[in-house]
Amino acid sequence: LMVRTVFHLPLRQAEGFVTAVFGLMGIDLPVPDHTTLSRRGPGLPDRLPAVPATGPGEILVDSTGLRVVEVKSGRKGRDRKTTAKRREWRKLHLGMGSGRFVASELTTWRRADAAVLPEVMDQVDGRIDRFLADGAFDGQPTYDLLISRRQGLPIPEVIVPPRRADRVRSRELDMIRQRDRHIAYVQTHGKRAWQTATGYTRRNLIEAGVSRYKRIIGRRLRTRSLAAQRAETRIGVHVLNRMLDLGRPITQRVA
């Protein structure tokens, strides 16, 4: 509750809120002022903490829009001030592995999902056995990127819904033939059967993660510059990972 409250407060109010909480808890620690937080925010590390591998690597990728409201003041006529609000959007690209966020990248809404994929995958360490994403990532660049990351490892399984109108094209690389098999299966059995057969339904994990970000962290950005907004989203993603670590049950087989 405290995390959610702080994220929904401006920096000035968050500073006073944390000071009051520290006072109630008897903690003698100084709270940075809002100006210091605003200036040092963009300098936070770019990468999320590495996630230890617990089995075959499965990466799920998705994106969502976050709202930005810019308030601009101007003058109209003599001694008359006007205030205008311009609504803009940013696009948050997320990568998930082992149930946690392993990559985050914030861009303008003009950049396509597939074009940002190299920046997302640069933040992913370790072996990738399966890659799941929606149809926005379908195309030759996605397959070429995952091929270049193999480094002698087995070819990862790429599960991306192909465009229905595409034709099957014979190619030499096994990874490219995966897409041909997806196209043939969809044309023969339908898209719903393809989703069940390939395990594409597991992509609901990243969709649930995106929903969790918007419900807990929020649907809008509070900082103004793109660098500060990237730091803001990285903090939010890191907080969600910490919350997951604290609340995830540990199961053990006893019989």
Share of the chain above pLDDT 70, in %: 75
In this prediction, residue 43 has a pLDDT band, given cuts at 50, 70 and 90, of low
Residue 7 predicted with pLDDT over 70: no
**Across all residues in the chain, what is the average pLDDT?**
80
Structure confidence at residue 1 (pLDDT): 45
In the structure, what pLDDT confidence band is assigned to residue 249 with cuts at 50, 70 and 90? confident
Tens of pLDDT, residues 191-244: 999 999 999 999 999 999 999 999 988 898 888 888 888 888 988 898 899 888
pLDDT of residue 223: 81
Q: Beta partners for 73? A: 83
User: What integer pLDDT is reported at residue 173 of this predicted model?
Assistant: 59
Residue 194 near residue 175 (C-beta atoms within 8 A): no
Q: What are the pLDDT digits (tens) for 21-40? A: 888 889 888 887 767 766 66
Cα separations (Å) of 126 from 51, 55, 150, 158, 211? 9, 11, 10, 16, 26
Whole-angstrom distance, CA of residue 49 vs CA of residue 237: 11
pLDDT computed for residue 193 by the predictor:
94
Using the predicted structure, report yes or no on whether residue 54 has a pLDDT greater than 60: no
Instruction: Supply the pTM of this predicted model.
Output: 0.77
Tell me, what's the pLDDT at 154?
A: 81
What are the phi and psi torsion angles at 164 (to 5°)?
A: -65, -35
Quick: pLDDT tens for 105-114: 999 988 999 9
From residue 137, alpha-carbon distances to 118, 125, 145 in Å are 11, 20, 11
Assign 150 a pLDDT band (cuts: 50, 70, 90).
Answer: confident
